[in-house]
Every structure is written in structure tokens, then in C-alpha cells.
Amino acid sequence: MAKAYLDRLGVSYRSIDVGEDTEAAKEMIQLSGQRGVPVIKVDDEIIIGFDAQRLNEIFGKERKADVSDVLIIGAGPAGLTAAVYCARKFLSCIIISENIGGQALESWTIENYMGYRMVTGEDLMRKFEDQVRVHNIHLELDSVTDITLEDGLFTAKTVSDMTYIAKTVILAQGMRPKKLGVDGEERFLGKGLSVCSTCDGPLFRDKVVAVVGGGNSALQTAVEMSAIAKEVHLVVRSSIKADEAYVRNYEKKKNIVIHSASTISALHGENLLSAITIKDQKTAQETVIAVDAVFAEIGWIPNTDMVSDMVALNERGEVVIDVNCHTNVPGIFAAGDVSSVRSKQIIIAAGEGAKAALEVYDYLMRL
């Protein structure tokens, strides 16, 4: 999002991959006190993350108000597939998303997507993006904060103070990670506590890390971090509930220490995270373990805050849709993990995105 913002305004910059350049990673931590990305240096000022307000103050801002046929929120498997299908129907289309790939980027290895015996989430989503780039699709890396409906048109406002107007909307913004619910969590976010092992994992080479969770994502992260970190502590609330394929890979690793029936009850450190307290759920015994990082893999929450007052949600906060991706609001459709479709799989999200796009076309033809 930060790079796309600077590109849009024509601001030149130098991009440094601190996952590959260890010396640059050390410099970034010294400058910012952060162990998470991005960190932006403008002259002598250090900006943490995509701080749209501060960047607007420095560089100014632009506004767009053209009316598109369809606005797609989210650029994961559902959103990208929907965009391709809309383009093939010659609909004017714009995608707004915080990233390209969505939750699929978190998958280190995918073994159940048709056409691939094994592929990383990053590689698969790059294939999706390549197909989108072939078409005349406007893609903005930004974050939608609000959607309103007036005179039959939907207006979306973004965090970088942009405005987009469309005749229809496809909600495909996926989910966000759950929080640990521990005191000091916000203080250590980006300073040892991470919700993106793919982004921040390389910064902890030869360090001691903890992974929280017992599902597929947690085991996958533990396995991948075991090849980077010196030691991995896997903290599982009850017991491991992952697919057999993930369990087999986990059992082969010698540097993963499991703490079953346990939770993290405290985070410790001054400027950076340095230790955690683990509480045994059966005995209530607490143990302090020195770690350099914690990766939370305890589940996901639908990104529906922006439309909670507009469309119907179920008890889990997912957008309620019918079999054809229609919401209760004419002109708004939903697809992928943000919707009430039960199974959350990449291949299902892609299929739902195609369905939503075809329904949008049919809706517009009847206006």
C-alpha cells in the first residue's frame, strides 16, 4: 500500500527488502525500534507502517470520482477472479485492496489447488495477478473505510482519503487475524509480535520464536519457521487439530517444542519483545520462556466493519449471501472468506468470485 501510494503520486523512492538484506534489517530496527514492515524514511522522519494521514501531509493527495460498473473490495482469490470475469464481460472494474493475494499469501505451501502438485501462496497469487494485469482493470492498493449508497450509486471512501463510485460492489475483502487478548499486545505489535510470518519471519533467523495455534496455519508456520529460527515453541490451547499432512511434516522437525493445553498469559520486554509467560490450562502453572518473536495463528475475523450497518451479517460476522452470491442489498454481492459460505478454501473462493462477477453482469443488464 505504501509503495502503491508513492507510485500514484509520482514520488521516487528506494525499496529495500530487509528479509533478504540482514544489514539493512539491523539498520531498520535501529532507526525505528520495529521488527515489522514497512518502515518508511522520509528525510530525517521515520514513519511506521502505512500512515496515510502523515503521508498525505507530506506529499499531498489526489482524488478520483469516475463511475465504474463494479467496485471489487479485496484482491485475494475471490476478488482477482471476479475482476477477470468482469473484464471478460467488458465491465469497467476497479479493485481496492490492502494487498494482492489476501490470506492466500500466508500459505507457505499449497497442495490441494488443482493444476499444481505443490505451490506457495505467493507464487499462486502472482499467477492470479498476472492474469488480472492482462485486462484493463484498475487496481488500487488502499483500504476502504466506508461505503454509502445514494441515488443508486455506491461511494467508497479509503484510508488515503480517496473516493470511488460504482454501480455495483463485490465484497471480497476476506478476514483478518484474531488477537491474542493479552495485555501489551498492541505495544509489541511489530516489535516481536507478528500476525504475518511470511512478512516478518526472515527477520528472526537463528532466533527463538513462538507460534500460537493448533490448526493448519499454525503447524505450517511452525514448520517453516523451524527452517529459519534456532528453536520454535508451539503453544496450543488444547490439542493439535490440523490435517494429517501438516502433522506429518511437524513431527519430522527436531527443533519444535510443543506446549499443549497452554496459552500465552503475558508478554515481556522493554522496547522489543523478549519473553512470554505460558500458562498450563490444566494445572494453572506458569512458565516464562525467552523468545524473540511470537507469531499468532489462532484464527480469523471477517473484515466487515465497513459494511456492518449496510448488509446482513451472521453470528460470525460474515456477509450473508444466497447461493448466487447476492446479499440483502441489491447491487452488493460477496464472495470468498468474507461471505457465509462454510468452507474457506482458495479454490472455493475463486469459484465464488466467478459466480459473483456473472451475477453482477446479469444485474447490470437488467438496470
Q: What are the structural domain ranges in the chain?
A: 2-59, 67-174+300-365, 185-296
Residue with cell 482458495: 346
Pairing of strands 208-212, 231-235: parallel
Q: What is the pLDDT of residues 62-92, one digit of tens each?
A: 555 689 999 999 999 999 999 999 999 999 9
Residues 291, 222, 24, 11: is their CA dihedral positive or negative? Answer: negative
> Can you tell me the distance from the alpha carbon of 203 to that of 324, in angstroms, rounded to the nearest whole number?
43
Least confident range of 152-156, 194-198, 304-308, 333-337? 194-198
One fold for 67-174+300-365 and 185-296: yes
Residue type, 255: N
The CATH superfamily label for domain 2-59 reads Glutaredoxin (3.40.30.10)
Cell of 80: 482477482
Q: What are phi and psi of 294, to 5 degrees?
A: -130, 125
What is the reported pLDDT for 161? 84
Give the mean model confidence (pLDDT) for residues 345-363: 97
DSSP code, position 1: -
Q: Tell me the pTM.
A: 0.75
Mean pLDDT, range 301-307, rounded to an integer: 95
pLDDT at position 199: 75
pLDDT above 70 as % of the chain: 98
Give the CATH number of domain 185-296; options: 3.10.100.10, 3.40.1170.20, 3.40.190.10, 3.50.50.60: 3.50.50.60
Please, what is the Cα angle at 153 between 53 and 77, to 5 degrees? 70
Q: Does residue 332 surpass a pLDDT of 70?
A: yes
- pLDDT for position 261: 95
pLDDT tens digits, residue range 104-148?
877 777 888 899 888 888 899 999 999 998 888 889 889 999 999
The CA distance from 293 to 194, in Å, is 7
CATH architecture of 67-174+300-365: 3-Layer(bba) Sandwich (3.50)
Q: Which residue has the higher pLDDT, 183 or 289?
A: 289
Tell me the pairing of strands 256-259 and 231-235. Answer: parallel
Q: Examine residue 302 and say whether the peptide bond preceding it is cis (omega within 30 degrees of 0).
A: no
Tell me how far apart the alpha carbons of residues 99 and 174 are, in angstroms, rounded to a whole number: 11
* Residue among 162, 223, 201, 175 at smallest CA distance from 349: 175
pLDDT tens-digit readout, 12-70: 999 998 888 888 888 888 888 877 788 999 998 999 888 877 887 888 765 556 899 99
The Cα angle at residue 317 between residues 314 and 319, in degrees rounded to 5: 65
What's the grid cell of residue 87? 473484464
What percent of the chain clears pLDDT 90, i.e. is strictly above it? 60
At 64 the pLDDT is 52
The residue assigned the cell 471512501 is 157
Residue 268 above 80 pLDDT? yes
Which range among 46-60, 153-167, 213-227, 278-292 shows the weakest confidence by mean pLDDT?
A: 46-60
Average pLDDT of the residues of the chain: 91
Residue whose cell numbers read 498469559: 265
Q: How far is Cα 100 from Cα 129, in angstroms, rounded to an integer? A: 7
